[in-house]
Structure 1
Amino acid sequence: MNRDAFSAFRIHNDPASGHRAGIETLQMQALSPGELLVEVAYSSVNYKDALAGTGKGKVLRQYPLNGGIDVAGHVVASTVPAFQEGDAVLCTGSGLSETRDGGYSQYIRLPAAWAIPLPTGLSLRESMILGTAGFTAALGLLQMEANRQSPSLGPIAVTGATGGVGMLAIDIYTRAGYEVNAISGKTDQFAALSELGASQCLDRHQLAFSGKPLDSARFGGALDNIGGKMLSGLLPLVQPYGNIAVCGNAGGLVFDSTVMPFIIRGVNLLGVATAATARDIREQVWQRLASDWKPRYLDRIATREVELEGLADVFETMLAGGSFGRTLVRIGKTA
């Protein structure tokens, strides 16, 4: 691969012409600084990437930047002894495509503090099928278990179950010994969710929340990608001392609740903020994802694979609600 001139999906927001994004030819001096120069093998597509790439969401804090909040590849140059040429590394979140160049590029510079050595048990490809989505699902479970979540409390409800986070959560949580109830409006995909391990699939359009401060407990806990009315409805249904890990807001930023689930049942509401996760926790999550929490069905969950040229179509499909599973972005040398 030519290091003097290489391709990247770059996002601009100029005062005169506004938002524009597309594939450009860059030189090394255009990249954000970092101790590691990485030849990129894979990235992935997350909802934030679609918002950033289309300009329909305020994700980037400076311009121009290369898109892509996930990246995996091989080190080709390092100024720190902890990483050597040829090392396989990954990075998710950590300011990629927000304050510095992201993974939609044939090369990326990374601060050594953000780069995670590829754990034994994962390939570069697998790490990007997981990406921020899998990391989010696993971080949610790690936080729930830190608050004494266990399979004995009952099934974990996973909302937005046909998205990347949701599908990976079903696979990860069942791998960890939990029963999972999948909640989605895409009833035509219920068979696929059952094949991933969901014991029950619930149509979100048919869920009848009573509006009571407390209702008959139905779930041991939940991973909620939706927020809004969904989160309001789930809180009264969680078993005593169960947990809801909140990681998305597709259904709205605001939710209504009383204090009753918290002071009567001891329910915990946990925030899952992946981008700035401390390194020791980040490493712990990736080790679990490479071992006892490694999903069984990654190839089923990776429903689409594109190169940089295919990103624009993927973004539009995702924002229109038409995506299913994870989209892998193949960029460079993948061996």
Structure 2
Amino acid sequence: MSTFKAIVIDKAETGQSVSLKDFDEKDFMDGDVTVRIEYSTINYKDGLAITGKAPVVRRFPMIAGVDFAGIVEQSSDRNWKPGDRVICNGWGLGETHLGAYAQKARVKGGWLVRLPATMSAREAMAVGTAGYTAMLSVMALEQAGLTPAKGPVIVTGAAGGVGSVAVAILSRLGYQVVASTGRMQEADYLKDLGAAEVIDRKEFQGPVKPLAKERFAGGIDSVGSTTLANVLSMTRYGGAVAACGLAGGMDLPTSVAPFILRGVSLLGIDSVMCPIEKRIAAWNRLETDLDRRKLAAMTSEIPLAAVIEKAPAIIGGGVRGRIVVNIG
């Protein structure tokens, strides 16, 4: 087909317009692999792009969506052939390169990761960029020397996409996980994912002390701002915190005290331009270290046509776990 359905963001007289419409293949951007997309997902960045709450989109018109799983249809890249099942996320998809909320995509072969053998396309997008980011965070903490024996780990924004997958992975690996959320009604959900304790995010929203009582051996933070600053002040000597989100803001009102008096490490996690070798390692780990039953329990599904109306909920903190988009 020369045209296909896509969610397209375009400039408008005031702000931007977003609609599900026909898109012509002749308007594809450069790439050497064409993929028929089976599933995508909704990440926090997707919500920002579709609602226009942040300047995510850098060119117009833009097909939204930062990640997909699908089947290669055409390829001039020697590493890929028709029929290969692949995953793509980041690399500017939905920002500077036409993205994933479409029945087809044309991308560079070097952006693709092979779908793990035991994982379906739907499961891959149940993981999505949020879950892949959670896995990168776990790997960074391990590289920094964190082990289950060193004590409890905190996961902030725990009921969201990154947080839900992080809780599930860490608990499976044997960590005592403390889940922080602003939705205490989700406590049973988080305990089912493996959290040993669920606490209110209010504990991390007060004034930031240079050093507070040592509570956590490490943590994964998707919130940023005051929450991350408070987590750092509560991290034990020699601990590490992986920072991978900014739902609470881009500022960081902290001091050098946790770093120079307790030797705490702050680990920055980038999923967009992450080297391909690390991506492959992360997806291999997700295949083995994420309980698929827990993944299924945190996942809901919507059709492509429902993405636009669902986007405001994810940036408003109204989405639990992961949403899979069935491109259909």
TM-score when normalising by structure 1? 0.94
State how far apart, in whole Å, the 2-side matches of 1:266 and 1:70 are.
Answer: 36
- Indicate which of 120, 123, 128 corresponds to 1:126: 123
Q: Amino acid of the residue matched to residue 51 of structure 1?
A: L
| 1:11 corresponding residue in structure 2 | 9
Rate the CA distance shift 1:251–1:208 in 2: closer, same or farther, 3 A. Answer: closer
State how far apart, in whole Å, the 2-side matches of 1:113 and 1:266 are.
Answer: 38
| 2:134 corresponding residue in structure 1 | 137
State how far apart, in whole Å, the 1-side matches of 2:289 and 2:204 are.
Answer: 33
| 1:261 corresponding residue in structure 2 | 258
| 2:78 corresponding residue in structure 1 | 81
Counterparts of 1:98-109 in structure 2 under 5 Å? 98-109=95-106
**Offset at 1:291?**
1.6
State how far apart, in whole Å, the 2-side matches of 1:243 and 1:27 are.
Answer: 48
- 1:179-205 CA-partner distances (Å, limit 9, x unpaired): 110001101010110000000000112
- 1:49-72 CA-partner distances (Å, limit 9, x unpaired): 111112221001111111100101
- 1:284-331 CA-partner distances (Å, limit 9, x unpaired): 1111111234554111111x3111110122112223321111111001
State how far apart, in whole Å, the 1-side matches of 2:278 and 2:111 are.
Answer: 12
1:326 paired to 2:327? no
Q: What's the secondary structure of 2:289's corresponding residue?
A: coil
Q: Amino acid of the residue matched to residue 49 of structure 1?
A: D
1:170 paired to 2:167? yes
| 1:91 corresponding residue in structure 2 | 88
TM-score when normalising by structure 2? 0.96
1:248 paired to 2:248? no
Rate the CA distance shift 1:242–1:41 in 2: closer, same or farther, 3 A. Answer: same
Rate the CA distance shift 1:273–1:171 in 2: closer, same or farther, 3 A. Answer: same
State how far apart, in whole Å, the 1-side matches of 2:287 and 2:244 are.
Answer: 22
Q: What's the secondary structure of 1:139's corresponding residue?
A: helix
State how far apart, in whole Å, the 2-side matches of 1:205 and 1:295 are.
Answer: 31
State how far apart, in whole Å, the 2-side matches of 1:211 and 1:236 are.
Answer: 8
| 1:317 corresponding residue in structure 2 | 313
**Offset at 1:208?**
7.9
Q: What's the secondary structure of 2:319's corresponding residue?
A: coil
Rate the CA distance shift 1:273–1:208 in 2: closer, same or farther, 3 A. Answer: closer
Rate the CA distance shift 1:207–1:232 in 2: closer, same or farther, 3 A. Answer: closer
State how far apart, in whole Å, the 1-side matches of 2:42 and 2:118 are.
Answer: 23
State how far apart, in whole Å, the 2-side matches of 1:251 and 1:320 are.
Answer: 11
State how far apart, in whole Å, the 2-side matches of 1:327 and 1:256 are.
Answer: 32
State how far apart, in whole Å, the 1-side matches of 2:222 and 2:69 are.
Answer: 25
State how far apart, in whole Å, the 1-side matches of 2:203 and 2:251 are.
Answer: 21
State how far apart, in whole Å, the 2-side matches of 1:144 and 1:229 are.
Answer: 21
| 2:282 corresponding residue in structure 1 | 285
Count how many residue pairs are aligned between Structure 1 and Structure 2: 328
The gaps in structure 1 that reach 5 residues or longer are none
| 2:224 corresponding residue in structure 1 | 227
Q: What's the secondary structure of 1:290's corresponding residue?
A: helix
State how far apart, in whole Å, the 1-side matches of 2:51 and 2:309 are.
Answer: 10
Task: Assess if the C-alpha contact under 8 Å between 2:66 and 2:100 holds in 1.
Answer: yes
1:181 paired to 2:178? yes
Q: Amino acid of the residue matched to residue 141 of structure 2?
A: M
Q: Amino acid of the residue matched to residue 233 of structure 1?
A: N
Q: Amino acid of the residue matched to residue 137 of structure 1?
A: A
| 2:304 corresponding residue in structure 1 | 308
The gaps in structure 2 that reach 5 residues or longer are none
Identity %: 37
State how far apart, in whole Å, the 2-side matches of 1:179 and 1:314 are.
Answer: 33
Task: Assess if the C-alpha contact under 8 Å between 1:243 and 1:270 holds in 2.
Answer: yes
